[in-house]
Amino acid sequence: MVNVRIGAVVAEFNYDITHMMLEIAKEHAKFLDSEITEVITVPGVFDMPLAIKKLLKQDDIDAVITLGAVIEGATDHDQIVVQHASRKIADLALDYDKPVALGISGPGMTRIEAHQRVDYGKRAVEAAVKMYNRLK
């Protein structure tokens, strides 16, 4: 029996990294007797809130994880993206009374550091399952 039904919102930007994050997340969900039942890909981290909201509205989704990698560029764009997306993600969890776990690495990291942090997918699943179980 599946413990927690998880929706995942995955950024296409830096997909070589986020795809690995998703595969790690799926494996860890199985380990926790849970399942990622739906995956929505979005262009980037900034685009996640609308997809998160769609998943949170569904009765067959208990929690949502977000998977993205925001790599430092020549400007402060990475800082702005993560700051605004994370604030809205937290707001959605409160609005819908369901856990939304932040599995977004960055800002201010290199591509090599992003590859080293693919385990954020596992951490996001862990947080979502823990929060769901503690709140039910």
* Residue ranges of domains in the chain: 7-17+26-135
Is 77 considered catalytic here?
Answer: yes
pLDDT of residue 50: 98
- Is the torsion defined by CA of 21, 22, 26, 29 positive or negative? positive
Instruction: Confirm whether pTM is higher than 0.85.
Output: yes
Which residues neighbour 21 within 8 Å (Cβ) at sequence distance 6 or greater?
10, 67, 69, 103, 118, 120, 121
> What are 31-77's pLDDT values in tens digits?
999 999 999 999 999 999 999 999 999 999 999 999 999 999 888 88
28, 77, 84, 115: the active-site residue: 77
> What are 11-26's pLDDT values in tens digits?
999 999 999 999 999 9
pLDDT of residue 73: 83
Distances in Å between the alpha carbon of 102 and those of 1, 14, 64, 93, 115?
Answer: 25, 17, 9, 11, 17
7-17+26-135: CATH architecture: 3-Layer(aba) Sandwich (3.40)
Burial class (CB in 10 A: 0-12, 13-18, 19+), 134: exposed
Phi, psi of 103 (to 5 degrees): -110, 45
* Residues 69 and 114 sit within 8 Å (Cβ to Cβ): yes
